[in-house]
Amino acid sequence: MSEKLIANGRVTVGGEVVTDPARDVDEGDDVRVDGGAVVAEGREVWAIHKPPGVVSTAKEPGSRPAVVSLVQSDARLYPVGRLDADSTGLLLLTNDGELANRLTHPRYEVPKAYLVELARRPSRVELDRLAAGVELEDGMTAPAEVGRRGENRVEIVLREGRNRQVRRMAEAVDNRVVALRRVRFGPITLGDLREGEARPLTEDELTALRDLVPPSRRAGAKEATD
């Protein structure tokens, strides 16, 4: 859309018509379309409890609902990382691309906690293996925090994000994930947010997120699904 506006000579920066769609624009620049000032969209970050069957995308071409449709906001939001369709729990949505990139870049090792229901009770040896790292087809997993939370239930805290990692880790110790719910992303917890509900982060939560991944370090990778 913006490329078409620029091609048609309808965009000006500082009173000059823009001809290059890749031109950098600073926050204080006077940007106008057809003479009207363009106001920057306010930054938003939301926490949502993703239900099962909902996909972690901004738009879904198929029949399943996209997680963005569950948030009442006019901002152009997109997920920070992903949860696969069968998984539930905490997912962050934002229109702040820089923050999203930092939160999902592997060098920051942002901790993410998952409450996992397994098909059978894991032994102490199996829990120790999961914590120390297990061999997957794409290499050894990094050390994780693993604790028992019930007969067949464990909590796993990861600082890396590979595609369906928790499920593949369980299979590596001859077990199987029955249900998976993310309960924490960095300093943000799921709390009592119900499935399908969303809320904007508080100022204190936003500060904690930004302090966790300061912008002085470069980032650009994306998180895989769990």
Is 86 in the active site?
Answer: no
Query: Active site residue: 84, 128, 204, 226, which one?
Result: 84
Burial 140-164 (b: 16+ CB within 10 A, else e): ebeebebeeeeebbbbbebeebbeb
Q: According to the 3-state scheme, what is the secondary structure of the chain?
A: CHHHHHHCCCEEECCEECCCCCCCCCCCCCEEECCEECCCCCCCEEEEEECCCCECCCCCCCCCCEHHHHCCCCCCCEEECCCCCCCEEEEEEECCHHHHHHHHCHHHCCCEEEEEEECCCCCHHHHHHHHHCCEECCEECCCCEEEECCCCEEEEEECCCCCCHHHHHHHHCCCCEEEEEEEEECCEECCCCCCCCEEECCHHHHHHHHHHCCCCCCCCCCCCCC
For the annotated catalytic residues, the residue numbers are 84
